[in-house]
Amino acid sequence: MKTINIKLVRDLKASWGQAFAILMVIAAGVATFIMSLTTLDALTLTRDAYYRDYRFADVFTTVNRAPESLRARIEAIKGVDKVETRVVAPVKLAVKDYFEPVIGEVVSVPDHRQPFVNRLHLIKGRYIDPERDDEVILNEVFANAHNLNPGDSLEMIIKGNLQELTVVGVALSPEFIYQVAPGGVMPDFTRFGVMWMARDVLGKAFEMDKAFNDVVLTVQAGTNVKDIIQQLDLMLENYGGKDARERKWQTSHRIFQSDIDQLEQMAGMFSIIFLGIAAFLLNVVVSRLINTQRELVAALKAFGYSNVEVGLHYLAFVAVIVIAGLLIGTACGIWLGHGLSEIYTEFYRLPYLQYEVRFEIITIASLITLFAATIGTVFAVNRAVKLPPAEAMRPEPPVKYSKGIIELIGLTRFFSQSLRMIIRHLERKPLKSAMSVIGIALACAVMVVGTFFKDAIEFMIDIEFGLAQRQDITVNFIEPTSYRAFYDLQRIPGVEYGEVYRSVPVRLRHQHMSYLTSINGYDNQRDLYRSLNTENEPIEMPENGILLTEFLGERLKLTEGDEIIIEVLEGKRPIKKVRVVSMVNQYIGVAAYMDRQALNRLMQEDDAISGAYLKIDSAYENDIYNTLRDMPQVASTTARKNVISSFYDTSAEFVYIFVGFIAMLSVIITFGVIYNAARIALSERARELASMRVLGFTKAEISFILLGELALLTLFALPLGLIFGRLFSWYIIKELPQEIFRLPLIIEPSTYAISALAVIFATILSSLLVRSRLDHLDLIAVLKTKE
């Protein structure tokens, strides 16, 4: 080995602690990058493969009742690939030992074969035997929630008749990755179940013999889906066909897609922020490291080593650390990415996982890191070799110390001599001090970003389910019902108070933009369900006009006073123009709101309601559920507490999983940065501090000078870091998808405190490690060598 490379190896060995800390920062940055992006890839790839393998439909539509003979005509529409006509019906279920109301959706499957569209992935048991009329296949999430297995039985109320069913299989379907009850906002795996039964059996039970009420189809590649939808709507219009929808409006897909979008944003942002910070720190650390080698650089040059040779030597030094960091980061990133993808696969109950590491991802991570390292090294080496060796070997001229701003305003009167030294040292090299402060601040910011999600989510839940939605139970009627039905609900023992609502599915239009949602009509004087303004105060329902969720206003580019076109998608399907009165602050879901009477007028109907919100005495909870289950007009019952826990189990869990990984990596970065700052400060000042020891300063006194400097830098960095953290968080939230929920920028003082404490803890730990080195300074060496 060439001697200069021996030097390389020995130098690396000698500074392994520092090299290791740098390596960890790089590895954490790279791992975040690779983990995030490969997980995103895996989720998308797996989803696409699942959709493709199980022929997930491209178009969905429902009718009241259409003859089976129409199927051939639908198949004949140009561009349509495969069609499945189905019977889909809401049912009420009774599960053994479970008291809350459970509703379900039964979907028909062909008697003798798997459906052409939305195929099932059987996990347990077998397919339906068409000869039997009591067999059912359950969606896996529902089966798991109730621990139902093939052979178990289940009671179903079909059109008022109780029927005992036997579970023969448990399956997955791309159509129901997320199960959301009709009218529900949040997925619910326990109180809502999707199941499949034989076409023939369901046809008979729901008077759909030789008829269907639901169509799903796939389209051939390159076909304009809009054309097909248009023809389909036209064809089915006479059969009560509602708007056919493309896949992007399908509930399960939409929530899943929103999760993926969310991950995409988080992955993109965290990976850029983390890798960026790691790159920045690497740059700072490397250039300071090389600055401490000034004399060796001069000596090498005096021997006749060229600038390029010296540069390559230091580049190699950095490269070893960086490449080791890259390798470890890549390995950890892939490992974490695979782990995270598996967690998500399990979370979504996807039948398999396709985890691939795209070469580009590793390349980009490597390039960014190597680029940062090279720039840092080249600049620093360039600075070191630029000086003629003679000048570099002269001790650096005593740097001009002067009284800085702090001393000029007379504050130092109160400072000790040591503190004055610290302050002058920091003021002397403002750029370097600033870099250190920024480095530590970024580490602190990373902590904030890695931990603030919990605050935002909890705040959102508090407002949404504490201030806005305060009902214990939401009751949904099967169809719009007379107000009188509400009296029946009020009479149930244990119901303390109630409010009614009317909900109408609509398409809202403004200019060329449109959005599928619903208008909810409320009576005034509401105590349970309240819309909030931007100050989170309840808004009165205006007598005329409409309120919009802020997000909807932005999406449709509407402001207060604008007119909006409402296309009702139910009943007589009126189309009306209404004025937007104001915007509603709503974190979860998207909707429009009107006075119920105004909505009734718009619908050209009497005093109709879609359901009610109830406040109940919890002692009567089970009795109330039982009564509601037996009421034929009640389609579903949702308890607020279940919605909250559903949210935590699904959307919030999705975010928490990712953020948990991020928080772990941010701790590593924080520690790596601060330890490096301490170590470099030590190597820069070792000689000065040893001289002071020779002059009679105690170990404690010199420790105070060095560690006091670190403490002071940290002190400056903390507020800045918290501000950076808030800025990064703001940016992340702003870029997150807004469809399902919109996180507010809420960072609790406790999160700031934990981030700051983590940095302080890292500072103290680094100080202790450095302190032990200070105790072993070689005093004799200082006396012998120059300066």
Partner 1 sequence: MPDALLTNNSDVVFQTKDLTKTYEMGEVKVHALRGVNSELYAGELVILLGASGSGKSTYLNILGGLDQPTSGEVFYRDTDLANATETELTNYRRFHIGFVFQFYNLIPSLTALENVSIVTEIATDPMRPEDALKLVDLGDRLHHFPAEMSGGEQQRVAIARAIAKNPSVLLCDEPTGALDSETGVIVLEALQRINKELGTTTAVITHNAAIADMADRVIQLGDGMISNVHINNNRISPRQIKW
Would you tell me which residues interact with partner 1 (CB under 8 A)? 2-4, 6-7, 10-11, 14, 295-296, 298-307, 309, 388-391, 393, 397-400, 784-786
Residue closer to partner 1 by CB (options 160, 397) is 397
Residue closer to partner 1 by CB (options 4, 353) is 4
Q: How far is the CB of 301 from partner 1 (least distance, A)?
A: 7
Phi, psi values for residue 661, rounded to 5°: -60, -45
Residue closer to partner 1 by CB (options 7, 507) is 7
Q: Check if the beta carbon of residue 80 is closer than 8 Å to that of residue 55.
A: no
Residue closer to partner 1 by CB (options 3, 525) is 3
Tell me how far apart the terminal alpha carbons of the chain are, to the nearest angstrom: 34
Q: How far is the CB of 26 from partner 1 (least distance, A)?
A: 23
User: How many residues would you count in the chain?
Assistant: 787
Q: How far is the CB of 338 from partner 1 (least distance, A)?
A: 40
User: Looking up tokens 């330890």, which residue turns up?
Assistant: 675
Q: Which helix (H) or strand (E) holds 202?
A: helix 199-205
Alpha-carbon span 379 to 367, nearest angstrom: 18
Q: How far is the CB of 771 from partner 1 (least distance, A)?
A: 23
Phi, psi values for residue 7, rounded to 5°: -60, -45
Q: What is the per-residue DSSP string for 629-640?
A: HH-TTEEEEEEH
Q: Give the amino acid at 766.
A: S
Q: How far is the CB of 308 from partner 1 (least distance, A)?
A: 9
Q: Is 529 left (phi over 0), alpha (psi -120 to 50) or beta?
A: beta
Residue 447 DSSP class: H
Residue closer to partner 1 by CB (options 102, 777) is 777
- Residue 543, judged by CB atoms within 10 A of its CB (0-12, 13-18, 19+), counts as exposed
Residue closer to partner 1 by CB (options 20, 415) is 20
Q: How far is the CB of 289 from partner 1 (least distance, A)?
A: 14
Q: Check if the beta carbon of residue 284 is closer than 8 Å to that of residue 435.
A: yes
Q: How far is the CB of 777 from partner 1 (least distance, A)?
A: 14
Q: How far is the CB of 398 from partner 1 (least distance, A)?
A: 6
DSSP SS3 for 200:
helix
User: Looking up tokens 């491209």, which residue turns up?
Assistant: 58
Alpha-carbon span 277 to 665, nearest angstrom: 12
Alpha-carbon span 439 to 454, nearest angstrom: 25
Which residue pairs, CB below 8 angstroms and at least 24 apart, start in 391-398? 392/294, 392/295, 392/297, 392/298, 392/301, 393/295, 393/298, 393/299, 393/302, 395/786, 395/787, 396/294
Residue closer to partner 1 by CB (options 490, 785) is 785
Residue closer to partner 1 by CB (options 296, 569) is 296
Q: How far is the CB of 732 from partner 1 (least distance, A)?
A: 45
Phi, psi values for residue 521, rounded to 5°: -100, 130
Q: Check if the beta carbon of residue 187 is closer than 8 Å to that of residue 180.
A: yes
Residue closer to partner 1 by CB (options 295, 427) is 295
Q: How far is the CB of 13 from partner 1 (least distance, A)?
A: 8
Residue closer to partner 1 by CB (options 400, 413) is 400
Q: How far is CA 295 from CA 298, 322, 396, 472, in A?
A: 5, 24, 10, 75
Q: How far is the CB of 727 from partner 1 (least distance, A)?
A: 39
Q: How far is the CB of 730 from partner 1 (least distance, A)?
A: 45
Alpha-carbon span 784 to 608, nearest angstrom: 97
The sign of the dihedral angle between the CA atoms of 93, 95, 99, 100 is negative
Instruction: Please enumerate in sequence order all residues whose Cβ is within 8 A of that of 35, keeping only pairs 6 or more positions apart, or say none.
Output: 332, 333, 334, 336, 337, 340, 661
Residue closer to partner 1 by CB (options 124, 687) is 687
Residue closer to partner 1 by CB (options 576, 687) is 687
Helix (H), strand (E) counts: the chain: 24, 20
Residue closer to partner 1 by CB (options 53, 391) is 391
Residue closer to partner 1 by CB (options 320, 532) is 320
Q: How far is the CB of 403 from partner 1 (least distance, A)?
A: 15
Alpha helix ranges (H) inside 237-306? 251-291, 294-303
Q: How far is the CB of 712 from partner 1 (least distance, A)?
A: 25
Q: How far is the CB of 714 from partner 1 (least distance, A)?
A: 30
Q: How crowded is residue 233: how many other Cβ atoms within 10 Å of its Cβ? A: 14
Q: Check if the beta carbon of residue 154 is closer than 8 Å to that of residue 93.
A: yes
Residue closer to partner 1 by CB (options 304, 696) is 304
Q: Check if the beta carbon of residue 245 is closer than 8 Å to that of residue 516.
A: yes
